[in-house]
A and B are shown apart, each in its own frame.
Chain A
Amino acid sequence: MIRGILTGSALAAGLAIASVSASADTVNLTIGKLLEVTGPLSETGPSQDKAVKLAVEYANEQAKKAGVAIQAKDVGADVQGDPQAAVSAARSLVDQGASCLIGPAITPESIAIANGVTIQKRVTIWPVGTSMRLRTIKDEGTIFRTVPPDSLQALALVNAAIDKLGTANGKLASVIYRNEPYGEGLAKDFSAAWTAKGGKVQGPTVFDPAQATFDSEAGQAVANNPDAYIIIDYPDTYAKLGAALVRTGKFDPTKALVADALAFSTVPSNIPPQAIEGMRGTRGGTPTGTDAYKIFFVAEGGRRRAFLPGRQQLRLRDAVLPGRSCRQVLQPGRSHRPRAGSNDQGCAEILSHDFGRCAQGGRFRPEDRLHRRGWCLRIRGQRRSDRESVRHLRVPEGQARGAETDRCDQVTGSLD
């Protein structure tokens, strides 16, 4: 998720560099952050904030190095996990001069903002939302997505389950999801793909996040001793659901696969370790080992990892590279002079013109990003404070990240 945010923010920030390299005027680019400071994804709010700041800082650094007059800054607002609050937040950001928006993370919020009259003409980047509902919305070309959709994630979940079980044929997968469009769509896609490969699906068990107890839901999920659990949830609810699953006495987290909303950088302290140890899951991301990853990561030497929590999870993805590539391609005096000259022209102008030019230059094609990016399988249960689990995996702490990326490449390869 953090990488998703970074991708989106870097997309916006990097474009600023690309757009003004030939311009004599200083461009002040204001990036609006729609943050999950409160609500069901509040665990991710601080990291989202830091991720955008990181990208903005990077953009300003690169602009300075390139000698272009640009000053990117960010403004933020809390979407509260609520569609109405999200629309209010988006409007307040636009009022503060935001020419593009990054976020939010939750599907109903994203749809509400997209439908907002005042927001509709603003460029919006959805760095986290993977729901298929967000793929079909009429965005008039203003919404950019930097993560692959749940139709791919469902396939990755199926592959990950097969990787774990050896086969899908005759295997029972118990599907559990939080009652939201994201969970519903992903569960539906997974179930279709799993049954197509000969597997059986139990449930889905759907739960309301506002409920006082989750024990009945947990009981239904563990019934019939399924071969795998597919859990589509957010960290705050999984703290409750996970505890309820453990209380059944029948739940084995090593059988569980979780979707990207549970791909937190640092395991929240309120989730019982017994509910996650050995659990695996999917999340959107660029496979390590790609040229883009190597170029950036080697170039930066990992210095920026210190900005975000969960150091082992942090990678600046190749989404940063568009700006970098554009900066190299767009030299002053060449024909693709950007039209961005004021705050108000903003990202829409930049994206619609310069992005295409970059793509023509062969350095970056946004459509490739959506189709070629795979989904990574990730070993979970490596709680930072829980060294026992790290030792259990026989992975020295300093190499935990390497172990994870190796795993990631295997599964991604099978998807491509």
Chain B
Amino acid sequence: LTEGGRRGGDAPSLAPQAWRRLSPALWLAIALVLIALGLAVVVGPVAAGQATLNGLVGAGYFALGAVGLTLVYGVLRLVNFAHGDMLTVGMYIAIAIMALGISFWPAAVLAMILTALIAMLLDRIMWEPMRRAQTSTLQLFLVATGLALVLRYSVQFFAGSQVRTVGLDTISSVDLGPWHLGRLQLVVMLVGLATIVLAGIGLRYTRLGKEMRAVADNIALAEVTGIDTRRTIRVTWLVSGAMAALAGILYAASIGSINPNFGFTILLSLFAAAVLGGIGNAYGALAGGIVIGLSQEWATLFFNPRWKPAIGFAILILTLLVMPRGIFGRKKARS
């Protein structure tokens, strides 16, 4: 697991390594800015700027949702197809709490805690025994898919299938010169960015983050060095669950309408963001989300919006052809 490129190296080569660590982000930022400027020239600054803002909103959704996914993959090498439905679970828990008369933000925090506990509980009763049994990748994939269905239909069982809403104001917008942005969308962008940066800093500088990175690199070696790997893995699930809930709650609050399938519908985009950024990398989720979000919205400047998902994923394929491990992906260490 890496928080910004790769783990630390030897002191003498620190400066070049720092450059290398920054270079994907730097190159990505330069490329995106150049494209945005080019679009401003071609279609005009208002249209290009608005499409860019819209793309950054989408990027916020994708990145925030993808962080938990990429954390779990980084530590456990588990492709968690149930992650999208954890977003749904978090959202519906928040709605249930709000039905008790608690306002949105406290309800969101409580929902994050409860969803995190559910994620940890699932690890305890399901994933941990499978790890012990050294279950194959295919079996894990099928179990994750099955879990996704169980979660989705459990939500339907308890909450019904009808469309729900958080009831926040989805129509107020902030004017930024000739551009506009929904207030809630702005909140999602800022919270998403802050959360990802905090996750990256936590992984980089905190003891727990270092332990998670150690487990991600080599779980046996981490155990030998005295790291409580079981505790680390549980913390990973806690963080992943909480961030899934946060992503689900903010997404649903911002877009205004959800049903039990909403986590599943966004799952593919979350995977795309995680893979494009370099799966297992917290900042990679952000970078991947930005690329997917911007490319989809920029595409609408030239094509009918019906084609924007296809164009977004075409960009994903092209990027992976050039950078097979994703934007922040690192080469496999030789053992």
Contacts and interface: CB of A to CB of B under 8 A. Distances in A.
Interface string A206-219: 11101111011101
Residue in A38, A271, A272, A274 with the greatest tally of chain B CB atoms within 10 Å: A38
Given A210-B265, A239-B163, A243-B170, A270 B256 contact: yes
Given A207-B305, A212-B61, A247-B171, A236 B259 contact: yes
Given A239-B165, A247-B173, A274-B171, A213 B257 contact: no
Given A239-B256, A246-B171, A270 B163 contact: yes
Interface size class of B (residues with CB under 8 A): 35 or more
Nearest to A251: B171
B297 interface: yes
Interface in B151-171: 156, 161-165, 167, 170-171
A331 interface: no
A158 interface: no
B239 to A, nearest CB: 23
Nearest to B301: A216
Contacts of B140: none
A313 B265 CA distance: 33
Contacts of B306: 179, 206-208
B267 to A, nearest CB: 10
Contacts, number: 116
A205 interface: yes
B263 to A, nearest CB: 12
Given A38-B259, A220-B300, A236-B259, A212 B58 contact: yes
B51 interface: yes
B305 A206 contact: yes
B300 A216 contact: yes
B256 A205 contact: no
B220 to A, nearest CB: 40
Contacts of B51: 216
B163 A37 contact: no
A45 B265 contact: no
Interface in A256-313: 268-272, 274-275
Contact of B163 (A216, A235, A246, A248): A235
A43 interface: yes
B70 interface: no
Interface in B120-175: 156, 161-165, 167, 170-173, 175
Given A179-B306, A206-B304, A215 B57 contact: yes
A398 interface: no
Residue in B162, B185, B251, B309 with the greatest tally of chain A CB atoms within 10 Å: B162
A208 B171 contact: no
Interface in A210-243: 210-213, 215-217, 219-220, 235-237, 239-240, 243
Contacts of B88: none
B269 interface: yes
B10 to A, nearest CB: 42
Interface in B219-233: none
B309 A216 contact: no
A213 B173 contact: no
A333 interface: no
A243 B265 contact: no
Given A212-B58, A248-B180, A243 B256 contact: yes
Contact of B180 (A208, A216, A235, A247): A247
B308 A211 contact: yes
B182 interface: yes
Contacts of B269: 212
A235 B266 CA distance: 19
B312 to A, nearest CB: 10
B255 interface: yes
B180 A249 contact: yes
Nearest to B305: A217
B173 A249 contact: yes
Residue in B163, B167, B255, B297 with the greatest tally of chain A CB atoms within 10 Å: B163
Contacts of A240: 255-257
Given A212-B266, A246-B171, A247-B173, A219 B50 contact: yes
B156 A270 contact: no
A206 B170 CA distance: 22
A220 B50 CA distance: 11
Given A217-B300, A272-B171, A208 B255 contact: no
B261 interface: yes
B62 interface: yes
A38 B260 contact: yes
Contacts of A46: 162
Interface string B276-316: 00000000000000000100110010001110110000000
Given A206-B305, A269-B167, 14 more contacts: A38-B161, A45-B161, A205-B304, A211-B296, A211-B305, A211-B308, A213-B61, A215-B50, A216-B308, A219-B54, A247-B172, A247-B182, A269-B165, A275-B171
12 contacts: A206-B306, A210-B309, A211-B305, A212-B61, A212-B293, A215-B50, A215-B54, A215-B185, A216-B300, A236-B257, A240-B256, A247-B180
Interface of A: 37-39, 42-43, 45-46, 78, 179, 204-208, 210-213, 215-217, 219-220, 235-237, 239-240, 243, 246-249, 268-272, 274-275
